[in-house]
Amino acid sequence: MSQDFKGLMFGLTGVIIFGLTLPATRIAVSELDAITVGLGRAIIAAMLAALYLFITKARRPDAAEFKKLAITAAGIIFGFPLLSAIAMQYTPASHGGVMLGILPLATVAASAIFAGERPSLAFWACSTIGAAAVVLFAILEGGFKLQLADILLVASVLSAATGYAIGGRLSKTLGGSNVISWALVISLPVLIPPVLYVAPDLPQSVSFNVWMSFIYVSVFSQFLGFFAWNKGMVLSGIARVGQLQLLQPFITLAAAAIILNEPLTWMTVGFASFVVAVVAVGRKLQVR
């Protein structure tokens, strides 16, 4: 097995893990509140992250890195998980899969703002087309008006893109696995109070499927998925493995249909395909 093939397999594993996140989240929020699912999952992941940092004897981030870690955490540990968990209470996972399809382009756009990258005009045009397609899809499915879930999903994309952009730049000095681990660990003091606040309102009886879904988004989506994704990029390169992310919306659609029995409409598949095509073109455009 060549190094390149191993990298692609690690990258594909990460994409599959992330692609199953919205369906698993939708199952979890069917009985648990969004704060427990959105923030509680990070507490579980932070415990695993602390163990990883201890075993590997990872160096502590300096003051400048700490500030970037705080921004990264705000995006991918607080913003995206909580906003997407709330959204999954009101909209199908397949709908969310299309909305989140624009995330790769949003990440590049965030890199232009926060990480000093300079996308070409063609890229910005491509991003505008992709964003317009996502908004049009949301309006058509929402009866010609934007729903609360759509606004939350757009906000979650912006949060994740910012976290990825800052975290990606920080990975060059701190290491990708250490970035997500430290971001989780430093978030613990802020994560625990809101989760404890809603703890008394948890239902006395929670189904097995809901707990398994919560464990999935905690252990895999919030922690191990980043390890697989980062390992893939190290072995096969960012550009090559990054193309695998084009599969993520389709993995979400398939999982939503199989696990949640959500109907796959031609409009959903069509818009997902168009958004993926736009992202594929956008990824090949010049970014300095």
pLDDT at 238: 65
**CB 246, CB 280: distance < 8 Å:** yes
Distance CA 72, CA 31 (A): 29
The tens-digit pLDDT sequence of the chain (288 residues) is 688 888 889 989 999 999 999 999 999 999 999 999 999 999 999 999 999 999 999 999 999 999 999 999 999 999 999 999 999 999 999 999 999 999 888 888 888 887 777 888 888 888 899 999 999 999 898 777 778 999 999 999 999 999 988 988 888 888 888 999 999 999 999 999 999 999 998 998 999 999 999 999 999 999 999 889 888 877 877 667 777 888 999 999 999 999 999 998 999 999 999 999 998 888 777 666
Collect all residues with Cβ–Cβ distance below 8 Å to 266 and sequence separation of at least 6: none
pLDDT at 114: 79
Note the helical H segments in 20-78: 21-28, 34-56, 63-73
Give me the residue spans of the domains in the chain. Answer: 3-284
Instruction: With H, G, I as helix, E, B as strand and everything else as coil, classify residue 32.
Output: coil
pLDDT at 72: 93
**Which secondary structure element, helix H or strand E, spans residue 256, and what is its range?**
helix 248-259
The pTM of this model reads: 0.91
Distance CA 6, CA 13 (A): 11
Tokens of 107: 């990440």
**CB 183, CB 1: distance < 8 Å:** no
pLDDT at 91: 93
**CB 163, CB 73: distance < 8 Å:** yes
pLDDT at 93: 95
